[in-house]
Chains A and B, each alone.
Chain A
Amino acid sequence: MTEVLIKVGLLAGAALTGAITFTIMDVKGASWMQRRPGPLHVGLRGFIFPVAEILKFIQKEDIIPTEVDRPVFKWAPAYVMVSCVALFAVVPLSPTLVVADLELGVFFALAISSLGTIGVLTAGWSSANKYSLMGGLRAAGQLIAYELPLILAVVGVVIQAETMSLVGIVEKQIEWGVPFVVGGQIVGFLIFMVAATAEMMRVPFDMPIGESELTMGFMTEYSGIRFLIFYISEYMNMFILCAIASTLFLGGYHVPLLPTEWVNFYGPIVLLTKTAILGFILVAIRWSQPRFREDQLQNLAWKILIPASLVNILVTAIMKVGF
């Protein structure tokens, strides 16, 4: 029991650290790409900015409007938070440094990540606000559409690795010599990253939040700590999906040519570096690209990504049986 509690505590801590790191990366990327001086020069060259941000939100009053559906409104951020933190359980930092090496690790990750949608939807509905409702509806349409390519893109990797355990998938890539992204899953990787960006609801897929037209989308009525939970969850989600993508497609805690017997030492550093690189790409996209229109977004999912991922599965299966 104590062990479980320690693991849960470590999980929450790791999730929060990852999220804060990515927050720093996002604001620093923004200030660097768009010349915003705040996060670059204020307070230890901008590195204590997230602390100020968190303190600000905790101090603020947690306003609950009169017309909202109180229990639903209050608990909506919890679903999002739980789904993000639980995802951390299966990502291996090294062969032994993993909270739970489940036999069905990939499947677990996909199942748990779909829980957050409920939080977003109920938040949008219970706020008794038209902006929130619109944001919730957009979020639902988007999350349903992009969950499919996300799952189908992973199927290719599972076929190639012959296992659903995340440690098993990394071991297979070590055995293979090259990461799966080089060894035939490049299409799967691209589909996964696009769908994951949509799942995070980041630019160019931020229609559900769309601050220029919907104020703050499904988060409009939230303030104080509940808003902070939504806000931090976005970065947690970004961190964890990047980590999962690195594990599935980029070789996880190992890079070719490094000795495998030292993997427990360099594993975490390698995985976090890969995660940070993917995160940086997402930051660069966020601060340089415009937002998709709703119909373009749906067309991309249903007419391009899903057929492409199905073809990817077919080709992978044929290659697997043929060679």
Chain B
Amino acid sequence: MEIFEIVTYFVLLLLITTAVRVVTTSNVIHAAISLVFTLALTSVLFLLLSTEFVALVLVLVYIGAVIVLFLFGIMITRAPLGKNAELDNDKNKKLGAAIAGSIFFLFSYILVNGFDGEVVITSGSSTELLGEILLSRFVFPFELVSFILLAALIGGITLARKDEALIDEDQV
């Protein structure tokens, strides 16, 4: 058990280091790469909690898709290398710290109070259980979330699209 705990604390330490680096660096690509490591380490934490499915979803969706889209966007809009001075926002540092701190205390209070070290899953694989719960007890919220995502998707396309340009096929 001891080695397991040592590994966990080591991962947590690395996680905090990389997470801090995401917000302190003034190079936007370095921030994105630090975010990759933050997410990868979070995924390792989920693995240590033996929830393989969540860990892999984190890798597939966040690292594989979201970060790649981040990088894609950065490369299109900010191709020059180097530091971006406007990434630092000194005025709101105190406000940011206050908000981050309160969110941290709120989450830890809810988690500690709500579960209190209780083992929720006792038998069967967590993946099977997750699938069953998602499609039985939580089927309505699940469908609702996909509906909201669809709405966001359509909204995004409507905002980004210029119809005049698309009608004229030669300009595409």
A interface list, Cβ under 8 A from B: 67-69, 71-72, 102-104, 107-108, 110-112, 114-115, 117-118, 121-122, 124-126, 128, 133, 136-137, 140-141, 143-144, 147, 295
* Nearest-Cβ distance from residue B140 to partner chain A, whole angstroms: 21
Q: Cα distance A103–B127 when bound, in Å? A: 9
Closest approach, in angstroms, between the C-beta of A245 and any C-beta of chain B?
Answer: 19
- How far, in angstroms, from A117 to B64 measured CA to CA in the complex? 7
Closest to A127 in B: B81
Complex: A68 Cα to B71 Cα, angstroms: 17
Contact between B56 and A143, CB atoms less than 8 A apart: no
A107 pairs with B60, CB closer than 8 A: yes
**Which of B29-37, B90-98, B106-114, B148-156 is near enough to bind chain A?**
B29-37
Cβ-defined contact, A124 with B75, below 8 A: yes
Residue pair B71, A104 in contact (C-beta under 8 Å):
no
- The 5 sampled A-B contact pairs (Cβ below 8 Å) are A69-B27, A102-B52, A104-B127, A128-B81, A144-B69
Query: A69 near B29 (CB under 8 angstroms)?
Result: yes
Contacts of A133 in B (CB 8 A): 75, 79
Bound Cα distance from A101 to B116, whole angstroms: 34
CB of A121 within 8 A of CB of B63, answer no
**Among the interface residues A121, A128, A137, which one has the most CB atoms of the partner chain B within 10 A?**
A121
Q: Which of B56, B63, B75 contacts A118 (CB 8 A)?
A: B63
Task: Report A-chain residues with C-beta under 8 Å of the C-beta of B30.
Answer: 71-72
Q: Are B75 and A125 in contact (CB under 8 A)?
A: yes
B127 contacts which chain A residues (CB < 8 A)?
A: 103-104
Does chain A have a CB within 8 A of B72? yes
Please encode chain B, from 1 to 21, with 1 for each CB lying within 8 Å of some chain A CB and 0 for all others: 000000000000000000000
Question: Is B68 located at the chain interface by the 8 A CB criterion?
Answer: yes
Q: Are A144 and B59 in contact (CB under 8 A)?
A: no
A48, B93: Cα distance in complex, Å: 61
Query: Which residues 52-68 in B have Cβ within 8 Å of A in the complex?
Result: 52-53, 56-57, 59-60, 63-65, 67-68
Instruction: Identify the closest chain B residue to A147 (Cβ).
Output: B64
Distance of A128 Cα from B76 Cα, bound (Å): 14
A255 CA to B56 CA, complexed, in Å: 31
B64 adjacent to A111 (CB under 8 Å) = yes
Whether B68 contacts A144 by the Cβ 8 Å rule is yes
B69 touches A122 (CB 8 A): no
Residue contact B33 to A121, C-beta cutoff 8 Å: no
Q: Which residues of B contact A110 (CB under 8 A)?
A: 60
Are B29 and A140 within 8 A (Cβ)?
Answer: no
- B33, B59, B67: which contacts A112 (Cβ < 8 A)? B59
- Name the residue of chain A whose CB is nearest to the CB of B128: A103
Q: A121-B68, A133-B79, A137-B76 are in contact. Are A107 and B53 (CB under 8 A)?
A: yes
